[in-house]
Chains A and B, each alone.
Chain A
């Protein structure tokens, strides 16, 4: 039984193509007015981005997709703004290799910088507007300067009119993207910059939204994977007799170490996957978790010097006052609430895959590779999955579905089990970060040295690395590994992509100084070591880990010279946008200058405030966060009371969307700071469900969150979805110090660790008498 439905969105009236009928037809392209095909989607051509239909509807094709972060709404706002049409007339087609330009991966807070500045979608929409105005000018015999454009109608000073559909409806523009096309300025905006309600919310809240989990194809079967229990295990044999008695089994699929079951329905597949007897050779013994961070330092590593003024060692050796501290951050997971799912329909010569991947084109390429099909015969269509926050299981399960569908010659829907999702995803990297600084007589930092170790194995599969996620490895492809090598002196201008460089560094390479601060004597050395588990980008990858270490250490140095943490930061910053967000956050939070005195905890419940700030990826957004927490010294529990965040991401496309992302980012950051940690025993991952991987649930006592938007209208638009989360562990750690005098240098800040630190502080204090 199928239920046909179509959700028309209230409020904005906009149409989103993903709410289509419930049964999908492969190869029925259902595209816009043109015979779009991969080879025709040239991002240099306007027709690849924008099409005006006969009824005046404007379809925009984008390679940046909406995972729930609001990209469909803001991109429709952008197109409506540049073309001066009501937003309800914009139709957005996102991430489909048969229809949209190849924009790589939707990730890394790059969608806004990529599509909202002077290129790609924004430039296409501006080009279309100018092209339409030029056509109208020619038809009406009036100069463009005498034309007005309102709601898709161009009017001359004498009152003659042309609509978009009259000018171009259902025809191609046949012009290239114009670099000279002028964007509408934020002062002119009527659609962008407004809190337009996200398009998806009515369908989501009433349960009508089509997730990839809801994609249904005629003749569809259901698959489940049977992963090994241990990393590195290899297949000995599969005993198909062990499930012979079960109904509905279509096929046991085996390819090298990949094992899966395809059945008539989901429940049959699940039962069979549980009961199938599979013998595996064990994987290697894992380093004990409690020794892991120390082991990381001793491994062969791929090293990089990010900045090096070459005088750091000397200056630290000569200084009268120096500080050192080590920070560690565990592996954490994306932990999507819904386990990953994909649907594939593979025929002998072609394939269609409905996938929640962030990377439709790279995924198409990898699927063509593993199925041995011509690239042009594979189509990958993005359909939203459960929020991913980076490389969750979406790519792996897309490969799983493709392999199973190819094996049975029918469409297969695959959803991972909770354990398969959690035990095999590409975790956010574990990090060890050593900090050393010297302070001069005036209480300023005179040298800062930072040396870090981070884990890496696999990652995004890209266009040709299937082995970077579990499925590809199981069928015999190698994951990308590090190449051990020593660091060479940096030669290119600093791009602080991983925030390996603290904001307070001058960041000089040769005569170019790109840092946000003024510390001249600076060094950052990173060591990437091979991970025993897959790693991959997790919301604010490495930037969060590095910022935790930098911002907590900055706080330690401030405390060591009895300086106020806000004033001390301002003293070492030179980037005006950084200074502005620090000041804005301090003002909004009514920051009172605080100079720590390491007194013993006076009461059992102590409150404190802490600050952290970041220039995200060096120049992709600026934020400062002030956390106010209460610490229960007996329980060791941390209770955040208030977060005040000031954020500057350039001109804001949708303030409601930005606030939603920022509020969510702060609480996700809190969950990661307080409880999240991937665990393992001597053979395997033991974080396999929500009891063994600790996330905050909805019963968490919520802090107040105040978001202050500091808008730099004439700067490029930056990303904003990962900025706030980057600061949470640091701001909370610093607030705990302010409250109690303890330093938390290991994430997560579990009650056990807090209690132990408080006990340690108290015993030190009592020894001192």
Chain B
């Protein structure tokens, strides 16, 4: 067990955990966050995605003890609120781009990371970036439309 401080969605938390614990379990069990989810536990689906240092990261395979002190974690909950969703979240709401919704951390945060890095990303580039993200309800059409509209509005 080790005492670890971690900044999540703009708030500093201190947790006492085994440093080999994947970040996901700290977020979901210690901090009670609902955004990142356990889908596969082996970084194959994206349901546990968070953003660290501008990059989409699979929190299910990231031991919390390996994180740097300056790392700041953004989860789907930190991106926006029901009252004031992030524009990308709003775009998903507008397009009705969800079914069961379990995969949304992977889809939204991966898209956000790629568009933050390259606001001019083409459809092809966005799709490539989502290559490791799984949505088994196959809401693909609406999701990619929501991402496209957000990207276009952002540049306008």
Contacts and interface: CB of A to CB of B under 8 A. Distances in A.
A386 B100 CA distance: 6
Contacts of B33: 3, 207
Given A335-B136, A697-B131, A206 B80 contact: yes
Among A22, A201, A656, the one with the most B-chain Cβ atoms within 10 Å of its Cβ is A201
B29 A664 contact: no
Interface in A166-203: 197-198, 200-203
Contacts of A270: 41
Contacts of B127: 698-701
Given A67-B100, A697-B130, A207 B142 contact: no
B53 interface: no
A10 B101 contact: no
Given A2-B32, A214-B34, A699-B127, A204 B138 contact: no
Interface string B70-100: 0000011101111101000100110011111
A337 B20 contact: no
A222 B29 CA distance: 10
Given A205-B85, A205-B92, A697-B133, A68 B141 contact: no
Interface in B100-149: 100-105, 107-108, 127-128, 130-144
B79 A206 contact: yes
A451 interface: no
A207 to B, nearest CB: 3
Contacts of A197: 93, 96
B138 A668 contact: yes
A551 B110 CA distance: 39
B33 to A, nearest CB: 7
A337 B137 CA distance: 9
B54 interface: no
B30 interface: yes
A384 B101 CA distance: 10
A637 to B, nearest CB: 16
A204 B37 CA distance: 12
Looking at chain A's contact residues, is the secondary structure mostly helix, strand, loop, or mixed? Answer: loop
B133 to A, nearest CB: 5
B47 interface: yes
A214 B29 CA distance: 9
Interface in A690-708: 690-691, 695-702, 705
B96 A656 contact: yes
Nearest to B128: A699
A207 B31 CA distance: 14
A147 to B, nearest CB: 37
Contacts of B32: 1-3, 22, 216
Nearest to A700: B140
A464 B32 CA distance: 36
Interface in A1-37: 1-3, 7-11, 22
A656 B99 CA distance: 12
Interface residues of A, number: 73
B44 A207 contact: no
A389 B136 contact: yes
Given A690-B45, A698-B133, A213 B108 contact: no
Contacts of A268: 18
Given A205-B92, A699-B128, A689 B42 contact: yes
Contacts of A211: 34, 37, 102
B97 to A, nearest CB: 8
A197 B138 CA distance: 18
A417 B41 contact: yes
A208 B132 contact: no
A70 to B, nearest CB: 8
Interface in A656-694: 656, 660-661, 663-668, 670-671, 689-691
Contact of A200 (B25, B31, B98, B137): B98
Contacts of B93: 10-11, 197, 201-202, 205
A701 B92 CA distance: 20
B82 A689 contact: no
A337 B45 contact: yes
A415 B39 CA distance: 10
A198 B105 contact: no
Contact of A660 (B1, B42, B142): B142
Contacts of B30: 1
Interface in A56-74: 67-69
A269 B138 CA distance: 32
Nearest to A386: B102
A660 B100 CA distance: 11
Contact of A418 (B22, B42, B98): B42
A696 B138 contact: yes
B55 to A, nearest CB: 17
Among A10, A208, A209, A386, the one with the most B-chain Cβ atoms within 10 Å of its Cβ is A386
30 contacts: A3-B33, A68-B99, A197-B96, A205-B93, A205-B108, A206-B76, A206-B89, A207-B79, A208-B77, A211-B37, A216-B32, A265-B29, A266-B29, A267-B17, A337-B136, A338-B102, A385-B100, A387-B100, A656-B96, A660-B142, A664-B99, A667-B140, A697-B130, A698-B107, A698-B127, A698-B133, A698-B135, A699-B127, A699-B130, A701-B127
Q: Which 6 A-B pairs have the closest CB atoms?
A: A207-B35, A68-B100, A207-B76, A204-B101, A387-B100, A667-B138
Given A671-B138, A689-B40, 19 more contacts: A10-B93, A205-B97, A206-B81, A206-B85, A206-B89, A207-B105, A209-B101, A216-B32, A222-B29, A265-B25, A265-B29, A267-B17, A268-B18, A337-B135, A339-B40, A387-B137, A668-B138, A697-B130, A698-B143
